[in-house]
Each structure stands twice: as structure tokens, then as C-alpha cells.
Structure 1
Amino acid sequence: MQLFLRATELDPNYAAAYGMAAYCRHRRRVWGWSDDLKGDLRALAHLARQAAKLGKDDPVALSTAGWVTAFDLRDPEQGAALIDRALSLNPSEAMAWWMSAFARVWLGEAERAIAHAQRAIRLSPRDPSIHQMHSAISSAYFASGKYEEAAKLAMVGLQVEPDYQPALRIGAAAYGQLGRLEDANRLILHLRELFPDITLSVLKDLLPYGPDHLAAHLDGLRKAGLPE
């Protein structure tokens, strides 16, 4: 993040650096590494605006600005529009496709989300971020109430990256809803080893899911053993 910010100091018009700095701040916030959540949100908003403003023809700037707008700024419609613009400029940008997939989940467009994540996988089958693509599909299945499929895809993602928080959460919530509490609790134990402060109330404030999706997700995690 510091190097991306330094790049913006050296070139104030470097749109992609603003977007990637915003994405780094997003990761710091989501992974529980921030000691100033309000300050990070203000910085995220500024960086995303700069990326979108300066990067009208830059797919990386637009997709990262769209991701932050959808997730952290709680505006998935505007975020998805920015990511769509990125994809119109570069339809081969796998990162933008999986970002779009998650945004579509948050908009309640599960089938479209799955199609976008699958396209990301076809474009980059050995991508270091392929666990995020599988997790986007898992999240879409969960939002549709297809908990068996959600659990299966979460485990596919965890085979690639065993510590990936979203896959651990979605898998645990899906197993919780299926009544497979031993499997669910195993994932929760691992999640809490990585993130000791994670609770249902923290996730309620953090996640950008729609009301029904969020309620089902938290209910599954509650059944899996995540504390309030």
C-alpha cells in the first residue's frame, strides 16, 4: 500500500496506483489489520474516487475502484457499473470478472455471478487468485439456498488457499445450514485461529450482503459455533 501511495505522489495521475492502494486498504480492513476503521473508510472513498475519475480508460483502476465501491462503500450497483466499464475495455481481465461475480452476488444476481466467475476461471485457470473465483461461485450458490453446492465450491477454494477467510466463512455457514455441524465447527476453529476477534457482530457490520443473504449467512455461522 505504501508503495502504491508513493507512486501516486510521483505521478498524481496514475489511476491504477490509486485503485490498487484502495484495494490494499480494503484487504487490511477485511482481514482485521486496521486500527482505524473510520479513517480507512475515508481513505478508501478518496482513493476509489480518484481511481475512477482518473482511470476512465484504465481497467485496473476501474475494477479496483468498483470493488471498493461495492464492498466497503456499500454501493454494489455503482461498483458493478465501474467493473462493467473495466470489462468493456478489457474483456480478458480475469480479476475484473471475479470482482464482478462477487458484486453480482451482492446485487442478488446469482446466475450472472456464477457465469462471471466461471469466465474468470476459463481466462486464467492457473491464476494465483483462483480460490477467489471458486469462492464467488460458492457465495452465489449460498445466496440461492443451494448449500450443498456452496459447501463443495468453498472446499475447492480452500484446497488452493486453506486460510482464505471468505471460503472458510461460506463453507462453515453452508455446513451449518445443512446440519453438518462437525464439518462446520472444524472450519470455524480454523477461522478463529486466523482471526481471533471475528464474531457475528463484526461480520454483520462488515459484509455487504443483502438482508436475506446476510441473515442466512449469520444463521449458518451461528449454527457452526461462531460467537455473537
Structure 2
Amino acid sequence: FEGSLVETIVSNIVGNVERDQVKKLANKKPEKMEAYDLVLQGLEYHRRSSVSAENNKKALSLFTKATEVDPNYARAHAWKCCSLANNSDWFPDEMPENWMNDAFSSVNKAIDLDPNDPEAHRILGAVKLLFEGDFEKAIFHHEKAIEICPSDTYHIARYAVLLCYLGEPEKAMEQIKRAIRIDPFCSDLVLETEGLCHFVSGDFNSALTSFKKMQIETRTSLFYTAASLQKMGNSEDAQKILKVAQIESGMDNEKFVSSQLFQKETDKSSLSDALEAI
């Protein structure tokens, strides 16, 4: 308990300072501040891209413009890659044939420009996971991001999602508890991931509690809320929530389940069976 308390106190006192210092060291200063401003604007839309497809389109446009304004700004290239991947999820029929090459090129350029950019490592980890199914390299790059910026709860939450996909929800929950100690006023992503940990562990009531704490529902939280309600025998509410999830995301059950990269068939079928039973 004392260790946890000390970690919380120290992170509250120096966490933001440490984060700022690390990022100053890790990220080469943009040659043009206009590019920095464009990335900040893009992030405002990107953070809400799991709620609205149009938000992601705007984010991609801003990140792309930032790379054009300052081709040497690593962070802009990293976020462009992330946004391209999200766009392919929302608009698969609108993507050009070479979009995946563009995504790989963007994140690799980010790493070349700044090998110590935590975002570039996290995004490269996501790319390795999503497009190559390379869990070993995905883990390496997620852990590298946390090593560079240990107080960033966003990286910790993304790493926890990866652990859930690997069928290790207990380890994932340890990461989430650490994120909450660092920032007790946790983000929706941390709460969403906490809910995912509970779902994979089979604690559906706790999963619902986590999702209910979120300020803004996401497609992930909606689908998992519907599945959790179904698991608990509340078919009526499950049906209502699932309808909202499908309408807002434009995804059917099969497409959503395919986006959840569980390595254990039992974890995948637990989700798909619950959704199909609604």
C-alpha cells in the first residue's frame, strides 16, 4: 500500500513535469510551429475519432498538412499513420490501393527522424499488431513507449489492451491500476480498457461499471456493454445498446469482433457468441 501511495504522490508532484521534460528530450522541436499547431488541432479530432468517422477524416487532413508544412516533424508522421489506419476502418471502400504503404512509410519515417519518440513507438507497435500480427514486436514497441514516457497513461492503456488480446487480463489490469494511481481522474480510454479487462476476465458486472463511468461512449464500450448485458441475462437492454452501437459505428457484429484481435479462440467466441445471441 505504501508503495502505491508514494507512487501516486510522486506522480502528482512531478508526473507532469517529468512528462514535459521527457517529451522535450524525445521529440525534436518542429522547424515550423505551424506544423505543431496543426498536430494539436488534429489530436483534438483524433481523440474523438472512435465516436465519429468525420472526426477521423478531419484529423487525417490536419496531420497530413503538418507533414507537408514540416517534413522533418516526427510526431506528425506518426499520427498520420495512426489516422490512416483508423480511416481504413471507417472508410474501407474509399482508401487508395497504396494506403498501407503510405501508413508504413509514415511511421517508419517518424522512427528514423526521432528514435526516442514514444508515440512513434506505440503507433509502430499498433501497426505491427494490426497489419502483421507480430505480437512480439508489438509488445517491444509498446514497452519502449512506456520506458521513454513512464507517466503517460495513454501508452499504459494501449499496452493493457494488447495484453488483453494476448489473453492476459490480470496483467492488463495491473497496468490499468498503475495508470489510475498515476492519474486518479482517469481518461475514458483507461476506463474503457478497465472494462475490457473485466470482460475478458468474465466479470461482466464490473465491466458495466467501468463503461458507465466514461464521459463519452465509444463503439468499443457500446459493443462490450451490449455483450456484458447479454451475459448477465438482460437481453432487452442489450438489444437497445447493440442497436446504438451498430448505427453509430456502421459496423455489424462480425466486423466489430474481427477488430478485436484476441489470440485465444475462447476470448473471441465469448464476445461473438454474446453479440449474436442478442
TM-score normalised to the size of structure 2?
A: 0.69
Counterpart of 1:33, as a letter, is F
1:221 is displaced (CA, Å) by 1.1
Match of 1:185 in 2: 239
Equivalent residue in structure 2 for 1:33, among 79, 91, 94: 91
Is contact 2:154-2:189 (8 Å) kept?
no
- The residue type equivalent to 2:231 in the other structure is Q
1:205 corresponds to 2:258: yes
Q: Which amino acid aligns with 1:161?
A: I
Mapped to 2, the partners of 1:37 and 1:110 lie a distance apart of 36
Identity of aligned residues (%): 22
Judging changes above 3 Å, is the alpha-carbon distance between structure 1 residues 52 and 216 closer, same or farther for their aligned structure 2 residues? Answer: farther
Please give the secondary structure, in 1, of the residue aligned with 2:251: coil
Corresponding residue to 1:146 among 203, 222, 231: 203
Q: Counterpart in 1 of 2:160?
A: 101
Point out the more displaced range, 182-191 or 47-56: 47-56
Aligned length: 217
Q: CA offsets, 1:126-158, max 9 Å, x none? A: 45xx1111111111222222222222222223x
Match for residue 192 of structure 2?
A: 135
Deviations 1:26-74 (A, max 9, x none): 33234x2342286544433333333344432111221222233334543
CA contact (8 A) 2:196 2:207 kept: yes
Superimposed CA distance per residue, residues 155-199 of structure 1 (whole angstroms, 9 cap, x where no aligned partner): 223xx113x11111111112222222122112112112313x311
1:60 and 2:124 are equivalent in the alignment: no
- Looking at structure 2, the residues matched to 119 and 112 of structure 1 have their Cα atoms a distance apart, in angstroms, of 11
RMSD: 2.3
TM-score of the superposed pair, with normalisation by structure 1 = 0.83
What residue ranges of structure 2 are gaps of 5+ in the alignment? 1-59
Partner Cα distance (2:253, 2:163) in 1: 23
CA deviation after TM superposition for structure 1 residue 219, in Å: 0.9
Q: Secondary structure at the match of 2:227?
A: helix
Computing the radius of gyration from Cα coordinates, the structure with the larger value is 2
Distance 1:122 1:205, change over 3 A: same
